[in-house]
Amino acid sequence: MYAVEVSDHIMIAHSFRGDVFGPAQRLHGATFAVSVAFLAEALDEHGIVVDIGRAFEMLKEVLAPLNYRNLDDVPQFKSVNTTTEFLTRYVFDGLAAAVKAGQLGRAPRDIAAIRITVAESPSARAWFEGTLW
């Protein structure tokens, strides 16, 4: 299996609900370094998994509504904890939909899976990997 992975980052504020979060129940923030890996069984006729430039753009588009925001104020996140894990899935869903809509410039069925990795600090990160089909 081949994979191509590109990275970007966002800077957000948020707070969590639940005693398990300790001091992170207070409004705080994070720089999230976000990577997306597109997995494919075969390269296309150009010898690539995806157009890396398009991959960067798609990642940036999915992250844009979050960047420089207080996630506590984003309506669709009102009832959830926007944990690092949650965000791996949110970004996955956005990119999976974009791939299926053909926005990646490659036949959607050629992309087997996507892995999203989100690092919140030098010593902690999360990832979500799922198949598309």
> Binding residues for a copy of itself, per CB under 8 A?
1-9, 11-14, 16-18, 20-24, 26-33, 43, 46-49, 51-53, 56, 67-70, 73, 80-86, 88-89, 105, 120-130
20/101 with CB nearer a copy of itself:
20
Q: What is the 3-state secondary structure (H, E, C) of 95-129?
A: HHHHHHCCCCCCCHHHCCEEEEEEEEECCEEEEEE
Nearest to 127 by CA among 78, 97, 84: 84
Query: Which is nearer to a copy of itself, 109 or 131 (by Cβ)?
Result: 131
Chain centroid offset of residue 4 CA? 14
- Closest CB 109 distance from a copy of itself, rounded Å: 18
Shortest spacing between CB 93 and a copy of itself, in angstroms:
13
- Record the tokens describing residue 18, joined without a space: 């639940």
CB of 47 to a copy of itself, least distance (A): 4
**Nearest to residue 91, comparing CAs of 13, 27, 10?**
10
Q: State the nearest-atom distance from the C-beta of 77 to a copy of itself, in Å.
A: 10
